[in-house]
Amino acid sequence: MSPQARIYASGSFCFGESVAVNNLLAAQYPAVILWSLHVNSSGDLIMNNTQIVSNGVYAEAQTMNLPSRLATLYQNGISVIISVGAGGTSDFTNIANLISKYGTGSGNPLYTNMAALKAAMVNAGGNIDAIDFDNEDNLETGVMVDFATMLQGIGYASVTFCPYSSQNIWQDALTQLVKKFGPDFVSALHLQCYSGGSYNDPQDWGQIIAASGSNALLIPGLATNQAGPGGWWNNGQPGDSVKSYPAVAQYGGGDWSSLLRQGNYPSADAAMQSCVGGETFFFYCNGYLDLGPGKQFNTGDAVFFGGLPQWGSAPQCEGYALANGCSNIYNPGGACPSDLQTQYTQWANGKYPVNGGFIWMYDSIVDCVLSGPCGESGDSVATVATAYRNAIVNGLTLARAASSGSLVS
């Protein structure tokens, strides 16, 4: 089996329009993991900060068009996984409370909403291949087994685990689910080997998979470089990665294919605070601007893009970009593609096979593409995302080829 390269994506996909879809199609990851779906105390489903399902009805509180956009990935052979949970949340605590009150069947509002989520994706021409458990708030075997049981009853074909600690609990949950639904229901273990999980050795978790009798893929993950605190806006001021450019706007005759949206705001700061994900740069108009057919902008208009700027002179405007630096803050080694390839090479030939790797995350690639922390300044988001995918595949493949003696000098 070829190494499985996967990537987590969050707000930069949710609000990244067709730009994000096209970037991920170009980067050719076999699986995209959309993070993070939250569960409130009533069983409503919230994608990051945007409610998407309540009372059994899929309805985005802020338009993201997730079903149709995820369907495009699915129809192009990309597995779609949705991750539930995150650090600093109460998602699995709420899940446990709902199951304690209503059980795991159709009388549970969480069951109804998870069924509606799946139906929305199927009706759009896609599907959800698995639900990922990023359980960081209620590490108890019972809630994970019960939630998986609910999902299996709805018709979800698979779940995946995303641990970074507490091996015994994850092993117990895995073992119970193997006994209950067979060796394939937990289809992958996305092991966090960055930040709080930077001490993890995939071999330890490979032993857990083997001991449980599971066929789950072992897929350790590493992070990319990260933008400065807050992204666009942090503690009442622009984030550390924001760089300003006076008297410019996107060149009217340039590449506008990464256009995301436009709106009218009382100030550039207000425009900056409106950024929700996927924006790499924007320009703000302090007066009327005419850039040619279909490109007329009024005072207060801000125009947001998710690609590379081509600034042109515009005295009545100002430009802003996430271009003021990124750095490695999560990985024990570096966070450039070459660093990740080195790490995957080291992981490749243990007793227990490493089946692939995942990248944390697409959003960070978007946020850092203009800073070029790995010397990639001028490269597109798709190009950088592809470089990280290649780091996983090459690190694992080349090391195994060398070990087997199949490389020819």
pLDDT at position 228 is 85
Measured in degrees and rounded to the nearest 5, phi and psi for residue 5 equal -100, 125
Domains detected in the chain: 4-226+327-402 (3.20.20.80), 233-320 (3.50.4)
Amino acid in the structure at residue 373: P
pLDDT at position 408 is 38
> Are 246 and 318 in contact, with CB atoms under 8 Å apart?
yes
pLDDT at position 402 is 63
pLDDT at position 230 is 83
Q: Can you give the pTM of this predicted structure?
A: 0.96
User: What is the rounded CA–CA span in Å between residue 384 and residue 398?
Assistant: 20
The list of the chain residues with pLDDT below 50 reads 407-409
User: What is the rounded CA–CA span in Å between residue 328 and residue 267?
Assistant: 32
pLDDT at position 409 is 35
